[in-house]
Amino acid sequence: MLAYQHAYHAGNFADVHKHLAVFAVLRHLLRKPSPVTYVDTHAGRGLYSLDAEETQRLKEYRHGVASVWAARERFADDPLLGPWCEHLGAVQASSRLSHYPGSPWWLSQACRAQDRLDLYELHPGEASHLEAQALPDQVRCHHADGLAGLRASLPPATPRLCVLIDPSYELKQEYTDVATTLQAVAAKVRHAIVLIWYPLLPSGRHHDLLEAVRRSGVRKVWRSELQLHPPGDAMHGMYGSGMLIFNPPWGVDTQLEDSLARVVRCLGDDATHSSQWWVPE
């Protein structure tokens, strides 16, 4: 089950949601000089051309990053969205939106000399694209299972750990596998920060993940959901994007709530954002 390639969906509303959350966490981590190990369990290609054949087939970016990019001047005063758009502009050849950076790019931008970044990608084609990217010396690419690789690497050599977990969820088992992995991280690295992305689909399988996290005993988990439109039938596919953040840095929840309230106004009249402490401290 390695059919999924994110190039078909690059820059969609879920990417904006996910990477805005990643960016908010990274900005807080960079306030302290102590080294960080970053782990991306499902890295993908790293950088996506919006003109690529795969991306042009669905053009999901038009209802995601393109809408935010068009409004970027209005976001200049936003302490999170403004800098996020500036970083996004760094990968464009001109004022035209031509590329979308995946999570390896966002994470590598935060890598200092004392940090390290482990990128895992199991799909052979995607792993090949990833290894061809220009990445800092502190980055290591692994053509391997990211959840297994993460668990095997615990605890990290650095005093701080930040993990992004965003599988394709092609297999139903992945929902509970992710919850089990979070439990393993929390048990071995109590102060780790873990970001988990999940899709909102008409099947409602994300509830398996949410309930497994609730039952796991892991504390301090914040939940954010961005819906592009209300749930429809199975033919409508993904209608929303979810994020869980274990140990979010102080203030990240409020900052994301404020910025995402502005993002939803770019995504259409049906778009909404909601958040809550899924498991309190």
Binding-site residues for S-adenosyl-L-methionine: 19, 42, 103, 121, 145-146, 166
Cβ atoms of residues 124 and 185 within 8 Å: no
Q: Which positions make up the binding site? A: 19, 42, 103, 121, 145-146, 166
The SS3 call for residue 48 is strand
Helix (H) or strand (E) segment spanning residue 128? helix 124-131
Residue 267 CA to residue 79 CA, distance in Å, equals 20
267 is written with which tokens?
Answer: 């995504």
Cα torsion for 236, 240, 241, 243, to the nearest 10°? Answer: -140
Is the torsion defined by CA of 275, 214, 17, 115 positive or negative? Answer: positive
Neighbouring C-alpha atoms within 13 Å toward the C-beta of 159: 6
Strand residues in the chain grouped as ranges (E): 36-40, 47-49, 99-101, 116-120, 139-142, 160-165, 193-200, 221-227, 240-246, 272-279
Single out the catalytic residue among 15, 40, 118, 166. Answer: 166
Confirm whether 166 is a catalytic residue.
Answer: yes
Catalytic residue IDs? 166
